[in-house]
């Protein structure tokens, strides 16, 4: 188990990292590269939609229980890194070095560095992944 110093800062930063990377990928109008879920992108855009799940592990953690928080935090980091590794395998070679830097920063809990390292991925998602179709129900 890993003791995490500055829990509230780390929680906010991990959540911000997930929001930065995926917020653009799911909210973008895309430049017409691969369409989410259709396989033309080798699943890259679809896999990118798993990134917010890591932040959910941390958000669900009980901050008043340090052991439970540490366990949730470690699960979040592991999940986030696994998703980034899956993206690295599916993505273009031009993103591999950037993803390696991002993975390394997250594994070392250097989230400020991770926010910077995530920028090329954010741009790629904005340019190549369409936002999913959203439907809303009329208010009762």
Residues 29-60: pLDDT tens digits?
Answer: 344 444 333 344 568 888 888 887 776 776 67
What number is the average pLDDT over the span 81-93?
A: 93
Q: What does the angle CA 127 – CA 132 – CA 137 come to, to the nearest 5 degrees?
A: 145
Band (16; pLDDT cuts 50, 70, 90): low
CA dist., res. 138 & res. 64, Å (int): 39
Domain extent listing, the chain: 10-128
DSSP count for the chain of H helices, then E strands: 7, 0
3-state secondary structure (DSSP) of residue 132: coil
**Is pLDDT at 22 greater than 70 in this prediction?**
no
Both tokens of 132, joined, read 């999913």
């Amino acid at each position: 188990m890993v003791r995490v110093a500055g829990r509230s800062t780390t929680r906010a930063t991990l959540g911000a990292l997930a929001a930065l990377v995926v917020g653009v990928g799911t909210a973008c109008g895309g430049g017409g590269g691969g369409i989410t879920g259709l396989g033309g992108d080798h699943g890259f855009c679809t896999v990118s939609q798993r990134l917010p799940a890591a932040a959910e592990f941390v958000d669900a953690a009980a901050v008043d229980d340090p052991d439970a928080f540490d366990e949730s935090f470690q699960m979040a980091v592991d999940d986030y890194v696994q998703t980034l590794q899956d993206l690295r395998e599916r993505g273009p070679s031009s993103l591999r070095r950037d993803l390696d830097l991002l993975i390394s920063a997250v594994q070392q809990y250097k989230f400020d560095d991770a926010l910077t390292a995530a920028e090329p991925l954010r741009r790629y998602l904005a340019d190549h992944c369409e936002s999913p179709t959203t439907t809303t129900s009329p208010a009762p």
